[in-house]
Structure 1
Amino acid sequence: MTTGTVRAEAGDDVAGRRREQRGWYVYDWACSVYSTSVLTVFLGPYLTSVAGAAADARGFVHPLGVPVRAGSFFAYCVSASVILAIAVMPAAGAAADRTGRKKPLLAAAAYTGAGATAGMFFLDGHRYLLGGALLIVANASVAVSMVLYNSYLPQIAPPEERDAVSSRGWALGYAAGSLMLVANLVLFSAHDAFGLSEGAAVRVCLSSAGLWWGVFTLVPLRRLRDRRTDPAARPAPGWRQLAATFRAMRGTPHTLAFLLAYLVYNDGIQTVISQASVYGSQELGLSQSTLITAVLMVQVLAVAGALGMGRLARAYGAKRTILGSLVAWTFTLGAGFFLPARAPVWFFVLAAGIGLILGGSQALSRSLFSHLAPPGKEAEYFSAYEMSDRGMSWLGPLLFGIAYQVTGSYRDAIVSLVVFFVIGFALLARVPVERAIRDAGNPVPDRI
């Protein structure tokens, strides 16, 4: 533990810690509407339709002169955004640890993403390139902001509180997504009464997520506080530090093994989140209102799922609970392949299954990793965590897009994602987490 970390923790009284935790939760509330309203519900089908309107007679658009099937454009943009995030995250994480000033960096990432999302109001006609550019910037920005946001968790919650604190953050995020989707559903369903076309209603829904993100980010920026760092322990800049981090992790191979497992199974989760609405609209022929309702169901059940899996983790340990969620993901996704077209009821059943496991699997992965980050190197290690989060998350959407480009069937694309959960389960099952926590220099909770 560095000297700077000792000083910070010594001054953390219980009331101050609770105040920071409440402020920390609000960033989940702020940015989660981007993931739900923009990435999961509206942007995929809408950007696909804009690209389709700009396509040639064979159904291809030509960004930078490259022929791309219009139905694959959204998936490719998601992949490109992840690659951009991978390039920026190491510098952000290292700068946060080097200076101890996380809040200005969090503000920069958050407001860049919020601004790009608000700019989606201007996505109409044949402006698919504008939509792709805004998606790439917004999606990369939210990833960078999460590096900085997650790195606060070990500083604001002692080991025995982290599963609960992390789960509450996820639950509040899903609650925000639910509230926004209710408003979106009202606006979209009654767009004529508001004097809006269907396309204009979608653009209002997209841009309002950016405004929400920007306004509520003010709360964590006021509540969270920066910690001083030990100058002798400050890391090198950017990619050099990330390379040094991974080299250092060779001395703690079990931490590296957890990151590899997370890298694999999280890619499946992220691809399901980003491509579900495209699958529902294009392959199953479901209406936008049906998709909004289904995702709203996911948000509501994810609140209960995140809190419920947090309780399961207290009883059975985070690792066992995550493993159980991966089994559930495998069966849920397999069922999705066989969903009949134009059958909303079965799509709602699938959405319910996803909602119950989505929040908990992500929240517990975050809290489990917080035990594996050495004290004083939280942002550095969470940069590596986000690299594992995003490091292969470009592969799922890319594979999804290629499968559709080659076969013209989204069912062929969706079934390939099962492999991520199967391999991820096998890798995680082999990780001795108690030993990994001890190797990181942290106390081992009674149940992990």
Structure 2
Amino acid sequence: MVPNPSLFGITAIAALLVAACGSSDSPPAFNGSAFSQAKALEQPQGAAISTLKSTVGLSVSLANVRMPTADELFNWAESTYPVVLPGPRPPTLTYETYTFRYYASTNVALGVNGTSVVGLVNALSNNPQWVALGDLADYSCSIFPETCGPAPATFDVAAVNNGSAELASFLTVCSPVSGLSSANNTASGSASFERAIHAAMAARSLGSGSGSRSMATYTSTPPADKLGSCGGRISFPDYTHANGVTTATRVFDNYCTQDSDTGSKTYYNGRMSFTNRATPTANGPITTQLAAHSADGISMEKKNAAGAVVDSQTVRFTNYVYTPGVPGGDATANQPDRLQADEIAVVNRLTQKTYRQTNYTMTTFKRTDGGEQISITGRGYRSNGQYFDLTTTAPIITNDSGDYVSGIVTMTGAANSTSVATIVPGSKLQAAMTVNGEAVTSAPACNP
């Protein structure tokens, strides 16, 4: 864990305020002896700093973090806080066990003693005061942000037994759920892998008419509002179309759909922006690319026939791009449809947990037997921020009826720990699970 990276900034502001009360008529030389003579900065500033030092931020993969040198700290601090530590850049000096730089115009010194970072205010005066600024390691992620990030997840059987959702953030495993929004699926944390597939299909359908899925229906006339079967609407309040390119905003305003079998109702709210690029043909425009974005997300709430909420989620996505392999036709193995996203984040509002995928890619194509083949890669994140890498080590295959036939999804975490989900044939997306080669049998429905 690392302290809040804003620690130095707030401390530096406090130092600046104190420095402003000191002498502005500083002699040109500073030999560092004030480090051993200074007194601690008096309250209340000291108390505020002490509180900040106990604040921690995101967990990091410590194996990748590099300890900065004193000069690297000084250089970063000068560029980040030029008012307190102004140029021209002073030389790096030493005094006893201290390495430091002195900034004459603000009468501030920044030093390192071993790995401890110390600031001096009123440095060259009769009343120098020191401020503890943490450890060099506290600044590693600020100075070298590329080396920091969430820690990799560790897969173990206990995690599956205690809560299959931790290993099922991409796939509906160990639970006999029926569809995305069943009560069981909600209780287990929801399967964002299954949601991602459905979200992908929904995004792809934005450019689809009732015929070929790649035939865009967008023209110079905005689409009419679409009314929900149980209320609400989908509208396009912002819409432009020129030279085959449509740029628009699609708004879900309490748009409601109802399941005729169960009586449950699902409500959608939110907005997404998208750009649909198409090539004009004699039979109408054909989509060549669809890009969509929803920073605030689209919310979904499902209620059963009695009106009780059984599922409540928000999906956010950035740079979601669909590119048809064969514009106007069916994708092939050599020219598959491709869906990719920089990030997909799903918030389960019932559990207050967030699942994310980054660098997500899915390719699909229609097989000669009428079924479909799906391959996926990406990085998934548990609700605690830990990550794992995912790939279909065997593609997911469905038949011409849409039933699942086969497929293997492998998730790799810390120390090469692995969780392998093998698709169970059937109409529902389910899988049998092994963790580090050990079969998981004690969680519900893990042994179909």
More helix per residue: 1 or 2? 1
> Greater CA radius of gyration, 1 or 2?
2
Q: Which has the higher contact order (CA 8 A, sep 6+)?
A: 1
Q: Is this a same-fold pair by TM over 0.5?
A: no
- What is the TM-score when the length of structure 1 is the normalising length? 0.22
